[in-house]
């Protein structure tokens, strides 16, 4: 084992003693900077990230509805809530759609809604019990910021484990599932326009579904990496309609 591994092993084995010593130091400390360092150390030493059930980490569940019996079920619910809010926005745009196209727009909303229900609103993204291919966290519950919409990674290497303690769970609510091609500025208006000008063509609603509700177009970002500026990105014009069926005319 390396020196670092030996140090970490010793550190973990003395966890309770270190936490107690840090609490004693904190009670006498006046400097804000040192207070924060000690408070963070105590919080990290006291966390119970691997606990899943409510009875094993009651502090984590403080402030939550009693129906949540384990951490993953709440995290799953929190992801579902975000996706449901996106669906609500898409539905709320109906009044802005051209009157002649509203029925078709509503039909597409119903199709999207049915698909979301079938995949349980993609709550799997935040559920650490899910398969690695579909979750956005490690098996232990660590999430990493995927960086701003215009970068391939996070320059600050932000990470968080909302499963570890109550404060991290609350902080994680400030992380954003950011649409790369923007929902309000680009995707929803483009869908409304596609329905209005379809002229007999079939709108490729599944393409819009992917942009609105899946990680094809969603990035998990720390609040500092969430750029509110105009992304200046638009939908792929070649994917807005399904390919027409070939009609062979007899000459």
Residue range 165-178: average pLDDT?
95
Q: Which DSSP symbol is given to 140?
A: T
**Of 122, 223, 127, the residue nearest 171 (C-alpha):** 223
- Mean pLDDT, the chain, whole residue set: 91
Of residues 75 and 26, more confidence is placed in: 75
Per-residue pLDDT at 5: 78
Per-residue pLDDT at 251: 45
Q: Which residues contact 112 (CB under 8 A, 6 or more apart)?
A: 87, 90, 205, 208, 209, 212, 213
Inform me whether the pLDDT recorded for 53 exceeds 60: yes
Say what the pTM is.
Answer: 0.84
**Of 61, 78, 34, the residue nearest 177 (C-alpha):** 78
Q: Which residues of 131-142 are buried (b: 16+ CB within 10 A; e: fewer)?
A: eeeebbbeeebe
Per-residue pLDDT at 225: 97
Tell me if residue 53 falls in helix, strand or coil: strand
Q: Which DSSP symbol is given to 247?
A: -
Cβ count near 160 (within 10 Å): 20
Confidence class for position 184, pLDDT limits 50, 70, 90: very high
Q: Whose structure tokens read 């005319």?
A: 249
Measured at the alpha carbon of residue 122, what is the angle toward residues 119 and 125, in degrees to the nearest 5? Answer: 140
**Of 165, 153, 147, the residue nearest 225 (C-alpha):** 147
């Amino acid at each position: 084992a390396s020196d670092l591994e030996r140090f970490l092993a010793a550190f973990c084995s003395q966890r309770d003693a270190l936490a107690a010593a840090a609490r004693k130091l904190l009670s006498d400390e006046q400097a804000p900077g040192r207070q924060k360092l000690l408070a963070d150390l105590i919080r990290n030493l006291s966390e119970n990230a691997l606990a899943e059930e409510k009875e094993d980490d009651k502090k984590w569940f403080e402030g939550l509805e009693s129906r949540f019996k384990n951490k993953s079920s709440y995290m799953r619910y929190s992801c579902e809530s975000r996706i449901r809010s996106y669906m609500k926005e898409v539905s709320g745009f109906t009044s802005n759609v051209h009157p002649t196209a509203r029925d078709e727009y509503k039909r597409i909303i119903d199709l999207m809604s049915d698909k979301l229900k079938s995949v349980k609103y993609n709550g799997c993204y935040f559920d650490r019990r899910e398969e690695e291919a579909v979750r956005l966290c490690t098996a232990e519950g660590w999430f990493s910021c995927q960086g701003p919409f215009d970068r391939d990674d996070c320059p600050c290497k932000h990470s968080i484990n909302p499963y570890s303690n109550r404060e991290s769970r609350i902080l994680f609510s400030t992380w954003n599932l950011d649409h790369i091609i923007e929902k309000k500025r680009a995707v929803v208006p483009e869908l409304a326009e596609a329905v209005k000008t379809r002229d007999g063509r079939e709108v490729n609603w599944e393409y819009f579904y992917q942009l609105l509700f899946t990680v094809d177009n969603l990035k998990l970002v720390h609040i500092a990496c969430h750029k509110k500026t105009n992304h200046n990105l638009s939908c792929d014009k070649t994917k807005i309609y399904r390919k027409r069926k070939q009609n062979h005319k007899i000459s």
